[in-house]
Amino acid sequence: MIRRMATDPIPQFPAGFLWGVSTSAHQIEGAADEREKSVWDAFTAEPGRVKDGSTAEVACDHYHRYREDVALLAGLGVDAYRFSVSWPRVNAPQGLDFYDRLVDELCAAGVRPVPTLFHWDLPLTLDWLDRDTAARFAEYVSVVAERLGDRVTKWITLNEPAEHTLLGHALGTHAPGRQLLFDALPVAHHQLLAHGLAVRALRAAGATDIGIANSHGPTWPASREQADVEAADFYDVLLNRLFADPLLLGAYPAGLGELMPGDVESDLKVIAEPLDFYGVNYYAPTRVGAPQGTETEFGGVSMPAELPFSVREIEGVPTTDFGWPVVPEGLTELLTGFRERYGDRLPPIVVTENGCSYEGIDDQRRIAYLDGHIRALHRAVDAGVDVRGYFVWSLLDNFEWAEGYARRFGLVHVDYKTLTRTPKASYAWLRDVLRAQG
């Protein structure tokens, strides 16, 4: 199947729709000597953990070049910038001063700051297997809110606890590199509890616009055979409902609550604190079938043979340079499916990440990708889904976790030797789209 970019203008979104781009602290900031160590520093120091052997010690040097990057945001014409606050940096002396300066610079440029309070860079002294980490997170959130809350009005607690649990603690391909498989479930619970405690801390600080950024995608059975359907249902519970149901319904999917640690019933009351918006990170659907008895690889991640499912290729669709399938209609399917599943328990949605990895500065394939996904998002709006915003991942090429610098998701090219920023064709395209949106 070959998709061609439509030549007609992007349809108009509702008034007040929030357009933005996203980044994360560990992937762009650098200045590693001006913060405490995180689990990612320890992980990347181990030989073989990162495919190109690189680290994020310098990354894009955003810490020292943030004014240049804010100017890029202003030139792009976005309403908002979703960045993450580094917990290890806040723990260091004067660490919050950087975010003070960044937020001031954003406000002066007319760009709304939207901080994410945890994007995987856990301080090295903490562990999500420990319940106490949730309480420590709430304390850290209170400190950040007290300092930035006079200018920040929209907050995101956690980014992708599903991936941090699965890749970091179950499969070991991300920091901290554990291979616990289903014994990693307490990590999911403690992150969700940390979210709920953070919501309470933010409310106590006067915040009125709070959400979370969870990754989601439709799960497609490899066939209509019962074994494939059951495997796909299990995968969907694990990657989608395990993290959405407690937040939106106040309950785990059947059979999972009893596997969680502590007083789960009481914890769920904290986890299900009302949200003002629900953030969705969308990249692709997943085709899932029964286990095949062998280790498989999907999107750079090795999937052990003992898992009760196997991830299969989605045939007949283009792929990104990362090998991820390009399926814009999956975004429409996901959002309309969420509305049907959660009904009036679903807050307004913000697409907090959507993007792709492609090489080159004349990145026409990224333009086609974004064009297709923005149109798919508009179809969800037309179908009655209350969507309030869309953030592209990412502003800059950056340190792509275990892939190192081999994957380029940015609207702006970064030369990692000189740190020179060069806006790509997709940057100009999105700038023109935003101007047309008014």
Name the binding residues for substrate.
Answer: 27, 119, 159, 283, 393, 400-401
* DSSP codes joined into one string, 225-249: SHHHHHHHHHHHIIIIIHHHHHHHH
- Any catalytic annotation for residue 57? no
Binding-site positions = 27, 119, 159, 283, 393, 400-401
Task: Say which of 29, 273, 333, 353 is annotated catalytic.
Answer: 353
If DSSP codes are grouped into helix, strand and coil, which group holds residue 113? strand
CB 91 within 8 A of CB 121: no
Q: Is the peptide bond before 394 cis (omega within 30 degrees of 0)?
A: yes
| Residue 54 burial by Cβ neighbours in a 10 Å radius (0-12, 13-18, 19+) | middle
- Any catalytic annotation for residue 306? no
* DSSP codes joined into one string, 62-86: HHHHHHHHHHHHHHHT-SEEEEE--
Task: Say which of 105, 160, 273, 333 is annotated catalytic.
Answer: 160
CB 280 within 8 A of CB 214: yes
Q: Which residues contact 385 (CB under 8 A, 6 or more apart)?
A: 335, 336, 338, 339, 349
Which residue, 56, 221, 200, 48, is CA-closest to 135?
A: 200
CB 60 within 8 A of CB 419: yes
234's tokens: 């299990």
Helix (H) or strand (E) holding 135: helix 132-148
The CA distance from 194 to 208, in Å, is 18
Which residue reads 């680290």 in tokens?
55
169's tokens: 């603690």
The CA distance from 83 to 115, in Å, is 5
How many other C-beta atoms can be found within 10 angstroms of the C-beta atom of residue 386? 15
For residue 262, CA distances in Å to 164, 184, 250, 258, 259 come to 21, 15, 16, 10, 10
The CA distance from 299 to 320, in Å, is 10
The CA distance from 328 to 317, in Å, is 10
248's tokens: 């939106």
The CA distance from 74 to 63, in Å, is 18
Give catalytic residue positions. 160, 353
